[in-house]
Amino acid sequence: MNRGIFITGTDTGVGKTVFSALLLRALLLNDYSACPFKPIETGCRRDGEILLPEDGEFLKEMTAKAEPIKNITPYCFEHPVAPMVAAELEGKEIEIERIKKTYKELSLKYDLIVTEGAGGLMVPIREDYYYLDLALELRLPVVVVALNRLGVINHTLLTLEVLDKYGLKVLGVVLNNLSKDPLDQSRDSNLHTLKRLIDVDIFINIPGLKQISREELDRVALQTINVEQLLNALN
């Protein structure tokens, strides 16, 4: 199969990693081999001389336990800022060719690679290179993850407009309901409004999770993600 999906967000903190985990679990439960690829993680926890990519480790535990973490997250930075800024602060350089080479090597071993960006499409990796450019170079179709909150309609439409402008295929849109607060008027209407305004074949509404456990992720993944529909849309 050797296919891949690029997960982007309308903003930071919208639940991309949660959805990536759900997708990885859904693929595994449907007997597909899948591997996460979060090429750059910032805000990593320091353990002595080692930086630990907590999102990368979390996603690795979902499906690809045997894969070395250096392949899942090649670049780790301590500062919780955009990759370009983190690299400058820490005196390092992000090599795009290394990211592309690692992705290619992973794609030869698994049915599907779930690549997760940081923040949104226009987060800079280098001064002249954004996550948008990475998705373009890897030629990956995109799933847009949005958080159900005030402003999500504008953020989602802007993200879709950029993808359309650059000719990237949109596989679907995910609306995350991670807040435990009661629904207000905005959050209660966002799902219906987005469905009216955007034209995508796949629209996934993720309910609030009771907890972040494998059992809970499996339950929600089976309820919300139609793996065959998603894979058919890749063709």
> What residue ranges do the domains of the chain occupy?
3-234
C-alpha distance from residue 54 to each of 42, 173, 174 (Å)? 10, 25, 23
Q: Is 165 a catalytic residue?
A: no
- Domain range 3-234, its CATH number among 3.40.50.300, 2.60.120.10, 3.30.420.40, 3.90.1150.10: 3.40.50.300
Interval 43-67: pLDDT, tens: 999 999 899 999 999 999 988 789 9
Interval 131-181: pLDDT, tens: 999 999 999 999 999 999 989 999 999 999 999 999 999 999 999 997 666
Phi, psi torsion values for 86, nearest 5 degrees: -60, -45
Which whole number is the average pLDDT over 64-89?
Answer: 96
CA distance linking residue 38 with residue 109, whole number of Å: 16
- On the question of pLDDT at 13 being above 70, the answer is yes
The secondary structure of residue 13, as a DSSP letter, is: T
Of these residues, 38, 65, 109, 210, which one is catalytic? 38
Residue listed under structure tokens 């219906």: 192
> Between helices 16-29 and 54-62, what is the axis angle to 10°?
20
- On the question of pLDDT at 212 being above 90, the answer is no
Q: What is the mean pLDDT of the chain?
A: 94
CA distance linking residue 44 with residue 111, whole number of Å: 28
Instruction: For CA atoms 134, 140, 141, 144, give the dihedral sign.
Output: negative
CA distance linking residue 135 with residue 185, whole number of Å: 35
pLDDT of residue 205: 93
Which whole number is the average pLDDT over 227-234?
Answer: 92
Q: Work out the end-to-end distance of the chain between its first and last CA atoms, rounded to an integer number of angstroms.
A: 11
Cβ(73)–Cβ(53) below 8 Å: yes
Read off the pLDDT band of 182 (50, 70, 90).
Answer: low
Read off the pLDDT band of 11 (50, 70, 90).
Answer: very high
